[in-house]
């Protein structure tokens, strides 16, 4: 692996995103993430998985520059569905998956974190879905998972304004479990993960299976709809303008085309 590092502390396996400077989620990283979780699924010594980011951020989002290399709607839809597949694998993983978030979890980074069972955040972290700044929508499950955590109205506000929550606000809104000073976030998250790892793995699996019974029965279909809408937005002139403006570090001018 070149973009992820896998280490272990007791029965806790630690997956570290190592793609500086922003730990952006490109297609290669998604492929590696899938391979890691396939391996951890079969690893009896792993009872809990903790995901964190190296450097300044947990993950500042998808790799926008890579978007410029995708030429067709079908290609974007296929890539988006591959992300849905691994995020759903994490969401339904039979071992607890904990996200330790510092710096920022934005766009795809927050969508990855929302796929985890539990989120611990730095107090000053930024969590948000700013895709509408690019003329796009959240495409990796954000439109479906964020309302589950913060409610429909707050999810709408976060997406429509692109304004993030702080770590402290994320806890208040139910998006995260607890917030800690940034210098303590990994240590605190690991302490909680170790408590989980001390439990019976059979009981943990049963608890996860039962918690997932509350999933929306049509989640597969709604995620498919999100992927289609994301790909369609990607084909618009507004999306081209938003992506170009992001790369050029300027404010986009959207024309509704």
Torsion of CA 173, 127, 192, 184, to 10 degrees: -120
CA 235, CA 244: separation in Å to the nearest integer?
13
CA 57, CA 168: separation in Å to the nearest integer?
17
Cβ-contact 93, 37 below 8 angstroms: yes
Task: Provide mean pLDDT across the span 225-241.
Answer: 86
Task: Provide mean pLDDT across the span 4-24.
Answer: 96
Lowest mean pLDDT among 167-176, 219-228, 231-240: 219-228
Please report how the helices 142-150 and 152-161 are oriented relative to each other, as an axis angle in degrees rounded to 10: 130
DSSP 8-state code for residue 165: E
pLDDT digits (tens, 9 = 90+) for 24-38: 999 999 999 999 999
CA 245, CA 135: separation in Å to the nearest integer?
10
Residue 89's pLDDT band, with cuts at 50, 70 and 90, is very high
pLDDT of residue 34: 96
Residue 217's pLDDT band, with cuts at 50, 70 and 90, is low
CA 116, CA 131: separation in Å to the nearest integer?
21
Active-site residues: which are they? Answer: 111, 131
pLDDT digits (tens, 9 = 90+) for 106-165: 999 999 999 999 999 999 999 999 999 999 999 999 999 999 999 999 999 999 999 999
pLDDT of residue 98: 98
Burial class of residue 220 in the structure, from the number of CB atoms within 10 Å of its CB (0-12 exposed, 13-18 middle, 19+ buried): exposed
Share of the chain above pLDDT 70, in %: 98
Residue 213's pLDDT band, with cuts at 50, 70 and 90, is confident
- CATH homologous superfamily of 4-184+193-197 equals 2-enoyl-CoA Hydratase; Chain A, domain 1 (3.90.226.10)
Residues in a beta bridge with 4: 17
Report the length, in residues, of the chain.
257
Residues in a beta bridge with 177: none
The answer to whether residue 229 scores a pLDDT higher than 90 is no
Task: Provide mean pLDDT across the span 203-232.
Answer: 81
SS3 44: coil
pLDDT of residue 170: 98
Inter-CA distances, 125 with 17, 110, 128, 172, Å: 17, 11, 10, 14
| pLDDT top residue among 178 and 64 | 178
pTM, entire model: 0.90
Cβ-contact 193, 11 below 8 angstroms: no
pLDDT of residue 180: 98
Cβ-contact 144, 166 below 8 angstroms: no
CA 59, CA 111: separation in Å to the nearest integer?
10
pLDDT of residue 234: 83
Task: Provide mean pLDDT across the span 171-176.
Answer: 98
Residue 66's pLDDT band, with cuts at 50, 70 and 90, is confident
Structure tokens at 144: 């479906």
The residue extents of the domains of the chain are: 4-184+193-197
| CA 26 remoteness from chain centre | 12
pLDDT of residue 216: 59
49-60 burial code (b ≥16 CB/10 A, e <16): bbbbbeeebbbb
Residues in a beta bridge with 52: 16, 100
Share of the chain above pLDDT 90, in %: 75
| pLDDT top residue among 87 and 71 | 87
């Amino acid at each position: 692996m070149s973009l992820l590092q896998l280490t272990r502390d007791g029965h806790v396996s630690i997956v570290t995103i190592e793609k500086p400077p922003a730990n952006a989620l490109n297609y290669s990283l998604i492929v590696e993430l899938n391979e890691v979780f396939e391996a951890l699924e079969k690893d009896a010594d792993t009872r809990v998985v903790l995901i964190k980011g190296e450097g300044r951020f947990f993950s500042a989002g998808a790799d926008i520059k890579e978007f410029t290399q995708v030429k067709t709607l079908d290609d974007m839809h296929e890539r988006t569905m591959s992300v849905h597949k691994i995020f759903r694998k994490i969401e339904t993983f039979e071992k607890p998956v904990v996200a330790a978030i510092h710096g920022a979890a934005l766009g795809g980074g927050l969508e990855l974190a929302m796929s985890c069972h539990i989120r611990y955040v730095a107090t000053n972290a930024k969590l948000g879905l700013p895709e509408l700044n690019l003329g796009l929508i959240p495409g990796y499950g954000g439109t479906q998972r964020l309302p589950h955590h913060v409610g429909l109205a707050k999810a709408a506000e976060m997406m429509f304004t692109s304004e993030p929550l702080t770590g402290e606000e994320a806890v208040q809104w139910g998006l995260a479990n607890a917030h800690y000073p940034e210098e303590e976030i990994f240590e605190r998250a690991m302490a909680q993960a170790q408590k989980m790892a001390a439990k019976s793995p059979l009981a943990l699996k049963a608890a996860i299976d039962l918690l997932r019974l509350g999933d929306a029965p049509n989640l597969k279909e709604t995620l498919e709809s999100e992927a289609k809408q994301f790909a369609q937005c990607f084909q618009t002139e507004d999306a081209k303008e938003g992506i170009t403006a992001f790369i050029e570090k300027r404010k986009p001018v959207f024309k509704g085309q």
